[in-house]
Amino acid sequence: MPTDSNFDELELLIRAKYALIVVDTVEVERAEQGFALSASRLNLLYFTWSRSHGLRRGVLPSDPVMTGTEEPAKALAAVEAEGVGLFHFRGLDAHFDDPAVVSHVLDVVQQFNARRGALVLTGHNVRLPDALRPHATVIRLSGASFDDYRALLERLIREYSARMPVKVELTHEDRGRLVNNLTGLTLTEAEKIITRLIVEDGALRARDIERVNAAKRQIVEQDGLLEFYPHTEGLDQVAGLGGLKGWLARRRAVVTDPRRAEAFGLGFPKGVLLLGVPGCGKSLCAKSVAHEWGLPLLKLDPSNLYDKYVGESEHNFKRAMQTAERLAPIVLWIDELEKAFASASADADGGVSHRIFGTFLSWLQDRQGDVFVVATSNDVAKLPPEFIRKGRFDEIFFVDLPGDEARAEILRIHLRKRKQDPATLDLTQLVTATRGFSGAEIEESIVSAMYAAFASGTSLDTGALLTEVGATRPLSKTMPERLDAIRRWAAQRTVAAD
Ligand SMILES: Nc1ncnc2c1ncn2[C@@H]1O[C@H](COP(=O)(O)OP(=O)(O)OP(=O)(O)O)[C@@H](O)[C@H]1O
Ligand SMILES: [Mg+2]
């Protein structure tokens, strides 16, 4: 364990008789090792508690456990009886809705006024009850740095070389790239990956560098909530939506050079909510933003949120949000937001969706990392109104049916995408014929006309396209009331994306 200034701060606080210290971290194992070292430097016994193993003296699984201390209240009573020591409780915040636990914590904290020691709580974005807040100090354990990963790599190579023959065929540059690819992982995860690379074939080679990425992807996707989404097209493949594009373009420099932006006084943008008519390019924009900004795109799939593991879903959701923050800077895309949170007000599932919804809203507002959220929705009636309030998103855009110019552009983009030359067609006529069409409906007409032309052995012409367009009943004709309702709703609450 390298010396870590995070723990110097902890020791200072304990010496200064701060009795309740919250350490905000996703790396509890790393924190634990630091606490144990701090305790020995402070000449204090170290105790650790978790709901599953109860209160234990020491860090090792073989260290003695105090029987009957799994219940938080009992464990806190045992702390009172023990008196002096450094007591680490992990995940205690999950029990703060129990007033007995909160009042026990207060008793323990008061007791440290007269005795040496402290109660240390670990967790991620721990929310303290009002009663505890005045007594607590929060330290944020900074994430692993390039040097931490490098030290870890060197240490593992050393350790394994002592036990087995290890061939290291990495240039200095390769090592740098390998270490870079570990960014965003916790040190525990990074250790697992490097170990696997070494042990599998007794060697570390340049081609292992790519395998770090694959392993990282696996870690990100293991919860089944987040998915690395490939993105291949930029905003130049999106027609119209000039207002939205301009807004995004003005933030590009901040995203690509966040440090300089921060020095200038500008923070990383939070995100946008895109609402509107189906098939008009909301999802397309979400994908293009990541490409345009050169950031990885993570997609949150809300349909897995309320899966079979009901009790777990809240936990999984929190973990997914932590993962997103760790991999920052990224674009996080939440498609069809209303599907994830529509049932939030109903208590049909024992309040799980309501709690996840609350967690998500506070995450939107308070999150730390450079995560740009693009959320999309086409069913505004089902969207909980909380999303619309100020502060959750930087801006809410309304994406309407494309106007004449945008439709011409959509025709050109999709014709070119399918190896057709727009100059051979009468675009003016097609623009008129597709009035009221969404981008998706225009695209479908082109594809159908191409199938017809190919089957009859002819080339695509204006007539064939007009036939398909004429045969299409766009949503604006079949459900005009629905579109009107969306528009009326949006007029008061959103900014036009055009
Ligand atoms: N403005 C546009 N420019 C270019 N292509 C578009 C545009 N709008 C829609 N399309 C085409 O239609 C397809 C479907 O659009 P997209 O999935 O982005 O719609 P959406 O607004 O997310 O709809 P929904 O509300 O149904 O999810 C896109 O993949 C793209 O090929
Ligand atoms: Mg969509």
Q: Is 297 in the pocket of ligand 1 (CB under 6 A)?
A: no
Q: pLDDT class for 70, splitting at 50, 70, 90?
A: very high
Q: Is 443 in the pocket of ligand 1 (CB under 6 A)?
A: yes
Residue 483 within any structural domain of the chain: no
**Between 231 and 388, the higher pLDDT residue:** 388
Nearest CA to ligand 1 atom 4: 238
Residues 320 and 382 in one domain: yes
Residues 172 and 71 in one domain: no
CB 383 within 8 A of CB 337: yes
Residue of 109, 107, 131 lying closest to 120 (CA atoms): 109
Residue 346 within any structural domain of the chain: yes
Residue 489 within any structural domain of the chain: no
Indicate if the alpha-carbon torsion angle 41, 47, 50, 53 is positive or negative: positive
Residues 247 and 384 in one domain: yes
Count up the domains in the chain and report the number.
Answer: 4
How far apart CA 103 and CA 109 sit, in angstroms, is 10
pLDDT digits (tens, 9 = 90+) for 130-152: 999 999 999 888 777 888 899 99
Instruction: Kindly report the CATH number assigned to the domain that includes residue 447.
Output: 1.10.8.60
Q: Is the pLDDT of residue 63 over 70?
A: yes
Q: Is 340 in the pocket of ligand 1 (CB under 6 A)?
A: no
Residue 473 within any structural domain of the chain: yes
Residues 420 and 378 in one domain: no
pLDDT digits (tens, 9 = 90+) for 7-42: 888 999 999 899 999 998 878 888 898 999 999 999
Residues 393 and 428 in one domain: no
Domain boundary residue among 107, 125, 140?
140
Residue 277 within any structural domain of the chain: yes
- Say how many C-beta atoms besides its own lie within 10 A of residue 261's C-beta: 17
CB 157 within 8 A of CB 125: no
Domain boundary residue among 199, 222, 245?
222
Residues 96 and 120 in one domain: yes
Residue 493 within any structural domain of the chain: no
Rg (CA), the chain: 28
Residue 36 within any structural domain of the chain: yes
Residues 318 and 435 in one domain: no
Q: Is 244 in the pocket of ligand 1 (CB under 6 A)?
A: no
Residues 189 and 334 in one domain: no
Instruction: Kindly report the CATH number assigned to the domain that includes residue 303.
Output: 3.40.50.300
Nearest CA to ligand 1 atom 18: 281
Pick the ligand that lies closest to the CA of residue 275.
Answer: 1
Could you give the dihedral angle defined by the CA atoms of residues 275, 281, 286 and 288, in that order, rounded to the nearest 10 degrees?
Answer: -150
Residues 11 and 118 in one domain: yes
Among left, alpha and beta (phi > 0; psi -120 to 50; other), residue 399 is beta
**Residue 232 CA, ligand 1 centroid: distance in Å:** 15
**Between 257 and 425, the higher pLDDT residue:** 425
Q: What is the mean pLDDT of the chain?
A: 88
**Residue 376 CA, ligand 2 centroid: distance in Å:** 7
Exposure b/e, 109-122, CB count within 10 A at least 16 = b:
bebbeeeebbbbbb
Residue 496 within any structural domain of the chain: no
Nearest CA to ligand 1 atom 13: 440
Euclidean distance between the first and the last CA atom of the chain, given in angstroms as a whole number: 55
Domain boundary residue among 222, 249, 269?
222
Residues 40 and 88 in one domain: yes
**Residue 457 CA, ligand 1 centroid: distance in Å:** 30
Residues 198 and 241 in one domain: no
Mean pLDDT of 455-471: 95
Q: What pLDDT shows up at residue 204?
A: 93
**Residue 238 CA, ligand 1 centroid: distance in Å:** 8
The domain containing residue 153 runs over which residues? 146-222
**Residue 342 CA, ligand 1 centroid: distance in Å:** 22
Residues 126 and 21 in one domain: yes
Nearest atom of ligand 1 to the alpha carbon of 286:
18
Bridge partner residues of 46 (DSSP)? 86
Instruction: Kindly report the CATH number assigned to the domain that includes residue 164.
Output: 1.10.8
How far apart CA 287 and CA 304 sit, in angstroms, is 20
